[in-house]
Amino acid sequence: MTLLSKISRLFDNHSETADHHDDQRLRTHYYRTTKDKLYKECLQMIEREADMRVVAESHERGEISVQLTGKKNGLLIITIIMVRAFHTAVDFSLSLEKGMNFNYCEKQIEAFYQKLDHVFPVSE
């Protein structure tokens, strides 16, 4: 990752994960579980957070839309896809309403992944 891309990320108000992301922290995580169990756990994680609220969900598409109302307001989209049996991917897309990122989005996404890593075994 170049210095320019690191600096531009500080001022961007959007971050998302991908399979081949430049930033190791923002690469898609895969878990050895079913889509249903992972979907349910993501919903429970959101319910435990005081500054998060589910605004829309589509179980068949594996998408959860979450409104953030804490320190920074924004929209988090969680996408859960079962690639094959017991190999399920989770991706995040976080956009802030206003202001600068200053790695806030990356830290939020990383915190979600860490919580999921403690619940489900990571699949390679």
Q: Domain of 62: which CATH number? A: 3.30.310.220
Q: Give how many domains the chain has, as a whole number.
A: 1
Beta strand pairing status for 87-96 and 14-16?
antiparallel
Whether 124 maps to a domain, the answer reads: no
Residue 9, domain extent = 3-119
Residue range 117-123: average pLDDT?
Answer: 96
pTM beyond cutoff 0.75: yes
Each residue's pLDDT tens digit, 81-97? 999 999 999 999 999 99
39-to-7, 14, 54, 69, 73 alpha-carbon distances in Å: 34, 23, 13, 22, 23
Whether 58 maps to a domain, the answer reads: yes
Whether 23 maps to a domain, the answer reads: yes
Each residue's pLDDT tens digit, 31-72? 999 999 999 999 999 999 999 999 999 999 999 999 999 888
What are φ and ψ of residue 78, in 5° steps?
A: -110, 130
